[in-house]
Amino acid sequence: AATAPGKKITARLKRTLPVRGPQAPTLSELMRWYCLNTNTHGCRRIVVSRGRLRRLLWILLTLSAVGLILWQCAELLMNYYSASVSVTVQFQKLPFPAVTICNINPYKYSAMKEYLSELDKETKKALETFYGFSEGKSKVRRSVDDWNSTGSDFFQQIPLLKVEDFSRTATDLRSGQKRRVEGSVFHKDSSIVNGDSNDIIGFQLCDANNSSECALYTFSSGVNAIQEWYKLHYMNIMAQIPLETKEKLSYSADDLILTCFFDGLSCDKRYFTRFHHPLHGNCYTFNSGENGTILSTSTGGSEYGLHVVLYIDEADYNPFLVTSTGAKIIVHDQNEYPFIEDIGTEIETAAATSIGMHFTRSRKLSKPYSDCTETGADIPVDNLYNKSYSLQICLHSCFQKAMVESCGCAQYAQPLPAGAEYCNYKKNPNWMYCYYRLHEKFVKEQLGCQQICKDACSFKEWALTTSIAQWPSTVSEDWMLRVLSWDKGQKLNKKLNKTDLANLMVFYKDLNERFISENPANTLVILLSNFGGQLGLWMSCSVVCVIEIVEVFLIDSLSIVLRRQWQRAKKWWSHRQRGGAGTAAPASHLERQGHANPACLDEDLPTFTTALRLPLPQDSPLPRTPPPNYSTLRLESAFSEQLPDTLELGRR
């Protein structure tokens, strides 16, 4: 049986568009209903107030309150990811840090003779020719021809030049030839600009594949130039020596450490772990935690720390590589890599250096509070060091990676990445030019390393207070040196000199651990409480109230609008179908439904007191106050009467 299309549509409409909520027929009635019933009294006052001025005032007040709430809540949201700092001090037994000690001179000069004799000879020759310096023995000046006949590899590789800055010409100090400076000039000293420019010395590095591309590095002082030049060659030579040989060439623990005392007890070289540093040779780490135990101190003060006497064999120093005497130490955590070349403290000979420590532990909050990394796992740079992440490790690893990528070999001062090998000019004749170029870029932050690498979130820091006393004192010098020579044993056949010795004390000044940590300033609870405070303060409103707003202003309003549109469409449709014969019966029915809603029948405007008492519709069967007895059935019937639409739906 074919039913009328109108009925079909009505049926479908009733199925698909169930009517809920305060069934106000129009938006204004819905608003009215809302304003009278809501807890935010501002809205209520707008409706209830008599007189235009008062109503306007209330509208303004309510609007400004809403504005304030929005503004303040936005502020709260934006400040949500802020951190507050807390400092706690705890007095306790403290773990003693690892102390890494190196001789400033990396390798015994006497043992290095076989590797460095060529280079040293050349360097001495250069000094003699350029500066007229001779060590006193050889007074005969060698001629330029002599130079060429010896076939100095080192000068062919990297020629030392004297530069005339204004004419942009350079004199090759070996051959005396003048040549034009091509390519870029890098000044290592900025003082060159206003200094006298006639005495500038430097060296030229050229791209081996493309000889026209050269870079000239100049120094205002020959001391720097010679040292830098020497270092380049030295690194070349060292890169070719295997690690085991290098460890033998450097100092042993017995060589370096004469006496050792920790926590009031004697200790010896077994407390030290060897650690080979490419630039400093064999270094020794006290309390490295390698055997699983970390020593700790339960008493502060100089007697209870580490107390060592170091033997610095000054006579066996490399004269060109290092120009200062002493030892270098660094205090670090057991998991940290000691960057002794960057942040080491130097120790003087013939003196007692006492280093008092303060321990501070810091923790930052990682994302989204600040840009730091917990483990370094999220950073796209491989950690080449076998130690826990730090910014320094990342930067060095990043540079090494770039070096291997662009130069094809690894720089000597940093560990090897997998599958790479150290640069030397037999295999990579181009590396020095490449290295200098890359280093320049690195310093100017063009490699992107500084952008990739992030701080570590937690770090330990030992603040050092260093002071120096004369040691040994003039009166105790005599017996001290004699006994120490005896300690050193039979291996040493000379009497010790006080400039060969350094006394070092490392101790905790107090056992207070300062722990600086960042905490989230806002937790979710605090944020919500603040929201609640704002809502309550300005609008006497709550979350429920907000949901009501959403319900009324979004869902109900929308449904009313939709309903009206639908009716209009239906009217238009029926009009078209029946040629205007149909009446707007369903619409009036719906309207009646809306009016039937008890919540909307609040015709009489409530006074202030009735408003506060939340008046119910006059004809509502619902009780106003207890104790009027009423049956729950009546309550249900009240609902069923008022909401025929819902019931209809239920029956279906």
- The position carrying tokens 């290095």 is 112
Give the contact letters, 536-575, x = binds to other proteins (CB under 8 A), - = no: ------xxxx-xx---------------------------
> Minimum distance between the CB of residue 565 and other proteins, rounded to whole angstroms?
23
> Quick one: which segment of 177-185, 267-275, 332-340, 570-578 binds other proteins (CB under 8 A)?
267-275
> Minimum distance between the CB of residue 494 and other proteins, rounded to whole angstroms?
15
Q: CB-wise, 144 or 468, nearer to other proteins?
A: 468
Show the tokens assigned to 77: 């949201």
> Minimum distance between the CB of residue 348 and other proteins, rounded to whole angstroms?
9
- Give the footprint of other proteins on residues 494-523 (CB under 8 A): 503, 509-512, 519, 523
> Minimum distance between the CB of residue 636 and other proteins, rounded to whole angstroms?
10
Q: CB-wise, 584 or 638, nearer to other proteins?
A: 638
Burial state string for 380-416 with b = 16 or more CB within 10 A and e = fewer than 16: ebebbbeebbbbbbbbbbbbbbbbbeebebbbbebbe
Q: Are 106 and 321 in contact (CB under 8 A)?
A: yes
Q: What sign does the dihedral 27-28-31-36 (CA atoms) show? A: negative
- The position carrying tokens 């000979």 is 349
Show the tokens assigned to 584: 């707007």
Q: Beta strands 184-187 and 178-180: pairing type? A: unpaired
> Minimum distance between the CB of residue 360 and other proteins, rounded to whole angstroms?
11
Q: CB-wise, 11 or 469, nearer to other proteins?
A: 469
- Give the footprint of other proteins on residues 66-85 (CB under 8 A): 84-85
DSSP string, 564-603: HHHHHHHHHHHHHHHTS----HHHHHHHHHHHH-GGG---
Q: CB-wise, 354 or 411, nearer to other proteins?
A: 354
> Minimum distance between the CB of residue 269 and other proteins, rounded to whole angstroms?
7
Q: Which of 5, 264, 448, 536 binds other proteins (CB under 8 A)?
A: 264
Burial zone of 310 (CB within 10 Å; 0-12 exposed, 13-18 middle, 19+ buried)? buried
Q: CB-wise, 39 or 388, nearer to other proteins?
A: 39
Q: CB-wise, 189 or 551, nearer to other proteins?
A: 551
Burial state string for 504-542 with b = 16 or more CB within 10 A and e = fewer than 16: bbbbbbebebeeebbeeebeeeeeeebbeebbeebbebe
> Quick one: which segment of 103-111, 183-191, 432-440, 482-490 binds other proteins (CB under 8 A)?
482-490
Q: Which of 6, 21, 95, 417 binds other proteins (CB under 8 A)?
A: 21
- Give the footprint of other proteins on residues 440-479 (CB under 8 A): 463, 465-476, 478-479
Reduced to 3 states (helix: H, G, I; strand: E, B; else coil), residue 418 is coil
> Minimum distance between the CB of residue 588 and other proteins, rounded to whole angstroms?
22
Q: Which of 15, 20, 121, 495 binds other proteins (CB under 8 A)?
A: 20
> Minimum distance between the CB of residue 475 and other proteins, rounded to whole angstroms?
5
Task: Tell me how many residues contact other proteins (CB under 8 A).
Answer: 92
Q: CB-wise, 333 or 518, nearer to other proteins?
A: 518
Instruction: Count helices and strands (H / E) in the chain.
Output: 22, 22
- Give the footprint of other proteins on residues 279-318 (CB under 8 A): 298-303, 309
Q: CB-wise, 349 or 400, nearer to other proteins?
A: 349
Q: Which of 119, 163, 232, 260 binds other proteins (CB under 8 A)?
A: 260
Give the C-alpha separation, 130 to 118, whole Å.
18
> Minimum distance between the CB of residue 471 and other proteins, rounded to whole angstroms?
4
Q: CB-wise, 528 or 562, nearer to other proteins?
A: 528
Q: Are 391 and 453 in contact (CB under 8 A)?
A: yes
Q: CB-wise, 79 or 88, nearer to other proteins?
A: 88
- Give the footprint of other proteins on residues 593-652 (CB under 8 A): 599, 613-614, 616, 622-623, 625-630, 632, 635, 639, 643, 646
> Minimum distance between the CB of residue 263 and other proteins, rounded to whole angstroms?
8
| CA–CA distances in Å: residue 332 to residues 342, 464, 566 | 13, 11, 77
- CA proximity to 189, closest of 136, 227, 151, 140: 227
Largest CA-CA distance found in the chain, in angstroms, rounded: 131
Give the C-alpha separation, 640 to 430, whole Å.
94
End-to-end CA distance of the chain: 20
Q: CB-wise, 231 or 514, nearer to other proteins?
A: 514
Q: CB-wise, 384 or 504, nearer to other proteins?
A: 504
> Minimum distance between the CB of residue 616 and other proteins, rounded to whole angstroms?
7
Give the C-alpha separation, 546 to 535, whole Å.
9
Q: Does 484 bind other proteins (CB under 8 A)?
A: yes
DSSP string, 109-174: HHHHHHHHHHHHHHHHHHHHHHH----SS--PPPPHHHHHHHT-HHHHHS-EEEEETTTTEEEETT
Give the C-alpha separation, 129 to 136, whole Å.
14
- Give the footprint of other proteins on residues 334-393 (CB under 8 A): 351-352, 354, 356, 358
Nearest-5° angle of CA 558, CA 561, CA 564?
Answer: 145
Helix pair angle (585-596, 557-578), 10° resolution: 160
> Minimum distance between the CB of residue 540 and other proteins, rounded to whole angstroms?
9
- Give the footprint of other proteins on residues 137-156 (CB under 8 A): none
> Minimum distance between the CB of residue 134 and other proteins, rounded to whole angstroms?
29
Q: Are 567 and 586 in contact (CB under 8 A)?
A: yes
Q: CB-wise, 583 or 610, nearer to other proteins?
A: 610
> Quick one: which segment of 321-329, 368-376, 484-492, 602-610 binds other proteins (CB under 8 A)?
484-492
> Minimum distance between the CB of residue 33 and other proteins, rounded to whole angstroms?
12
> Quick one: which segment of 200-208, 223-231, 256-264, 277-285 binds other proteins (CB under 8 A)?
256-264
Q: CB-wise, 144 or 547, nearer to other proteins?
A: 547
- CA proximity to 248, closest of 271, 276, 279: 276
- CA proximity to 175, closest of 215, 147, 206, 214: 147
Q: Are 130 and 222 in contact (CB under 8 A)?
A: yes
> Minimum distance between the CB of residue 312 and other proteins, rounded to whole angstroms?
16
